[in-house]
Structure 1
Amino acid sequence: MTRKSTYNVQPFRSETEIDDFLFFLRRTKNHKRDVFLFQFGLNTGLRMSDIVGLKVGDINKPEPIITEKKTGKKKRLFLDGIQDVIQNYIKGMDDDDYLFPSRKGGHLSVNAVYKLYTKIGRNLGRDDIGCHTLRKTYGRFYYLKTHDIATLMYLFNHSSEKITKRYIGITDDEAKSSLKGFRIGIKGGDI
């Protein structure tokens, strides 16, 4: 199976879509790990490549900072909103333990997560779910709640508002919404 472009991958657009996805995650062999990975990704906006290799000690501190794999830049993590979920998940784990261990040893690979997410996506009748779905969903929900595109651009390290809006699927939705009921030159009984 070939990977789709991240622009074909879509965010979840509602809590219902998220709940539907969680329904399947809760039925995996490693459901505790898989559900936490999903929730962590949704609530941090990190790229999957930055998530899978995290160790407990990387996030079990007051102000965690990671180095992004793609950009090489330092990134501060704001985890206050999910601290209870994190502490519950890491209970009994050591700082050197991977947050998302693989059954084969080491940590989960991005490819393993991709395969799981696309499989669940197919079960939901969707072919637009992938690893970037979590990051895009984070951005979309953040923007719809705050309308603060400048901070979201900073969080995503994007250079323009246009790039950020396209990434989270806002431009298509805005266009569709603004065209609702739009008609020119058509009267009630024409044709």
Structure 2
Amino acid sequence: MIMIYYNVEPLRSQQEITAFVNYARNGTHGERNALLILIGLNTGLRMSDILNLKVAQVRYQDVVQITEKKTKKRRLILLTRLRPQINHYIEDLPDSEYLFTNRQHHPLSVNAVYKLFQTIARKMNRTDIGTHTLRKTFGYHYYQQTHDIGTLMMIFNHSSEAITKRYIGLSQDVIMRQMAGFSLGIEGASVEKKNSQKTG
């Protein structure tokens, strides 16, 4: 099966991550949007699973068990590092409410998050940001810190390490590094141009 993720790339540097979070925080519903992004960056959950979280799930425990909407498989996520931000955000929210809602207190849709991310992308002069950006960024930096592609493959429920590497942009990194030192005919072309200018 061929997996296509369109032109969506991870945020590869800490500066890009900080800018992304700050643009979200400074807009409308800033606290909500920033926490949504932080949960995505630190868990690697699909956006549909982030938007399915309820307040009660994250209020009382740092280890949260979810059932992924796409795979129907159970997965544990760890929220310890995000506890201060979560507690502040949910302080006045009822347990029964979805964690991320719109003005009508309905759960945010994936499409609404996509539109938010497109607004941020324009501010960052990026054309490669989408709802998979957070998940890919988690995977990219998890691998950079641990070099444990096997565990990451299990977290993402991928069938091979090659799929995981391609998904998080590692394959593209390798290609760009290899291409950076590769050239054909460039030196000859520039010399020829110089010589033609002299004779002209």
Q: Give the TM-score normalised by the residue count of structure 2.
A: 0.85
The aligned residue for residue 110 of structure 2 is: 110
Matching residue's letter, 1:160:
S
The aligned residue for residue 126 of structure 2 is: 126
Distance 1:62 1:126, change over 3 A: closer
Shift of 1:15: 1.1
Say yes or no: does 1:12 pair with 2:11: yes
Distance in 2 between residues matched to 1:119 and 1:108, nearest whole Å: 16
The aligned residue for residue 59 of structure 1 is: 58
Q: How many residues align?
A: 187
The aligned residue for residue 77 of structure 1 is: 77
Shift of 1:135: 0.3
3-state SS of 1:64 partner: strand
Distance 1:81 1:23, change over 3 A: closer
Distance in 2 between residues matched to 1:185 and 1:97, nearest whole Å: 63
Shift of 1:62: 4.3
Distance 1:104 1:182, change over 3 A: same
Say yes or no: does 1:91 pair with 2:91: yes
3-state SS of 1:66 partner: strand
Matching residue's letter, 1:56:
V
Larger Rg: 2
Matching residue's letter, 2:12:
R
Shift of 1:184: 7.7
Contact 1:7 1:167 in 2 (8 A): no
3-state SS of 1:99 partner: coil
Structure 1, unaligned runs of 5 or more:
none
The aligned residue for residue 46 of structure 1 is: 45
Distance in 2 between residues matched to 1:94 and 1:51, nearest whole Å: 18
The aligned residue for residue 163 of structure 2 is: 163
The aligned residue for residue 22 of structure 1 is: 21
The CA deviation string for residues 132-187 of structure 1, in whole angstroms up to 9 with x for no partner, is: 00000000000011100011001111110000000000011022224443468998
Distance in 2 between residues matched to 1:173 and 1:23, nearest whole Å: 26
Contact 2:67 2:73 in 1 (8 A): yes
- Percent identity over paired residues: 49
Matching residue's letter, 1:24:
Y
Distance in 2 between residues matched to 1:177 and 1:147, nearest whole Å: 18
3-state SS of 1:106 partner: coil
Distance in 2 between residues matched to 1:88 and 1:119, nearest whole Å: 26
Q: Give the TM-score normalised by the residue count of structure 1.
A: 0.88
Decide which structure has greater helix share: 2
Shift of 1:37: 0.5
Contact 2:22 2:34 in 1 (8 A): no
3-state SS of 2:93 partner: coil
The aligned residue for residue 149 of structure 2 is: 149
Matching residue's letter, 1:173:
D
